[in-house]
Amino acid sequence: MTPREKSDLVCRLGREAGFDAVGIAEAAPIARRAYLAEWLAQGRHGEMSYLERTAEVRCDPRRLLEGARSVIVAAQSYKPDSDAAHRSHTVESSNVEPRGRVARYAWGRDYHRVHRRKLQRLADALHKAVGEEFETRVCVDTAPIVEREMAAAAGLGWIGKNALVLHPRLGSYLFLGEIVTTPELAPSQPMTDHCGSCTRCLEAWPTHAFPGPFQMDAMRCISYLTIEHRSQIPGELQPAMGDWIFGCDICQEVCPHNSKAPAATESAYGPSERFPLAPQPPLATILNMTEDQRQQWLAGSAMKRATLAMLKRNAEIAARNGEEKRRNPEN
């Protein structure tokens, strides 16, 4: 089989495995490795020290697998059927139970598990279909690879001004995963930027996490603060966090591409009685939660990344913000 025939086969098998989009990039150093080095040097990664430790590997996928020549990138949407219910429920009157908000990616089953299984299914199908020996390594988020850079190189979209990958049809509510592999595959054509002059994502962020287009200061990002930041959250940022207790979707909610994107076809990513803390848990439930309850309620959920102390910290901030909003509804 030629590299092009193999690439066409990969895309077909990817669709059969359940992915919404599949592309291929050359296993080569990422385009913006100089920016990543500068970003780390400026300390914008906050407490995520693992990014600094693995920077050299992240910049070059060939370091993940000996003899790697290609990277298969697969995307799947997690956009819910309706966003109508996912709005601020911060208490505005004494008759409303204060609730927090959870980012859409953590409403259902942990994407690491679901996405990895599909990627492994794709890798297995590829091994069966190609009449030659080759190596593969499946990567989903936790592996040291800059996924958005690989997705852009593989033609799955462009990197928007909010530093997320934007697909022209699917938007940015996307889970990404990679298969680093040794055969030579024909790379996909990268997409051009379609953000144009739009700056809605930059203007909507209440903590001013974007010093400029395509730049993100993690230490001012609500997702980082609620999920990755283990210590006390700076007091000046707390009021702008609103009622978010795990993650944040603000820069995606205002994106025009997401308003037109279709709902996800994978039911595992939607809300379920199995995960009672998403999408809008009562703050009192979080504040009174025990470690045993956290283990039980978050088993199989991406929310389990946050410790009990972090969830309670976030809920306390959301409760204070809700009380302030009740006292001063015009602010």
Higher-scoring residue by pLDDT: 150, 54: 150
Residue 93's pLDDT band (cuts 50, 70, 90): very low
**Would you place residue 127 in the very low, low, confident or very high pLDDT band (cuts 50, 70, 90)?**
very high
Higher pLDDT, 213 or 92: 213
Determine whether 16 is exposed, middle or buried from the number of CB atoms within 10 Å of its CB (0-12, 13-18, 19+): exposed
Say which residue, 88 or 326, is predicted with more confidence.
326
Q: Which of 8, 141, 193, 292 is catalytic?
A: 141
- The pLDDT tens digits of the residues spanning 281-315 come to 999 999 999 999 999 999 999 999 999 999 999 99
pLDDT above 90 (res 119): yes
What are the backbone dihedrals phi and psi of residue 63, each rounded to the nearest 5 degrees, phi first? -75, -15
Residues 94-117 pLDDT 10s? 457 899 999 999 999 999 999 999
Between 87 and 195, where is the model more confident?
Answer: 195
Tell me whether residue 81 is one of the annotated catalytic residues.
no
- Contact between 192 and 198 (Cβ < 8 Å): no
pLDDT value for 49: 86
% of residues, the chain, pLDDT over 90? 79
Where do the structural domains in the chain lie, given as residue ranges? Answer: 3-81+108-181, 200-327
User: Radius of gyration of the chain from Cα atoms?
Assistant: 20
Residues 6+ positions from 38 with CB-CB distance below 8 Å: none
Q: Compute the mean pLDDT over every residue in the chain, rounded to the nearest whole number.
A: 92
pLDDT above 50 for 90? no
Q: What is the pLDDT of residue 124?
A: 97
Q: With 0-12 CB in 10 A as exposed, 13-18 as middle and 19+ as buried, what is 278?
A: buried
β-pairing, 174-181 vs 136-139, is: antiparallel
At a CB cut-off of 8 Å and minimum separation 6, what does 7 contact?
24, 185, 186, 187, 188
Q: Which pLDDT belongs to residue 68?
A: 98
Provide the 3-class DSSP secondary structure of residue 215: strand
User: Average pLDDT, stretch 155-172?
Assistant: 96
pLDDT at 66 over 70: yes
Report pLDDT digits (tens) over 209-238.
888 888 889 999 999 999 999 999 999 999
How far, in Å, CA of 140 to CA of 331, rounded? 41
Using the predicted structure, report yes or no on whether residue 70 has a pLDDT greater than 90.
yes
- Is residue 92 over pLDDT 50? no
Give 141's pLDDT tier (boundaries 50, 70, 90).
confident
How much is the pLDDT for 86? Answer: 54
Mean pLDDT within 140-167: 94
Instruction: List, as own/partner pairs, every contact residues 271-275 make where C-beta atoms lie below 8 angstroms and the sequence separation is at least 24, other chains included.
Output: 271/80, 271/107, 271/108, 272/107, 272/108, 272/109, 274/109, 274/300, 275/107, 275/108, 275/109, 275/300, 275/301, 275/303
Question: pTM value?
Answer: 0.92
Q: What is the pLDDT of residue 52?
A: 87
pLDDT in tens, 237-289: 999 999 999 999 999 999 999 999 999 999 999 999 999 999 999 999 999 99
8 A C-beta contact, residue 98 and residue 88: no
CA distance 298 to 321: 25
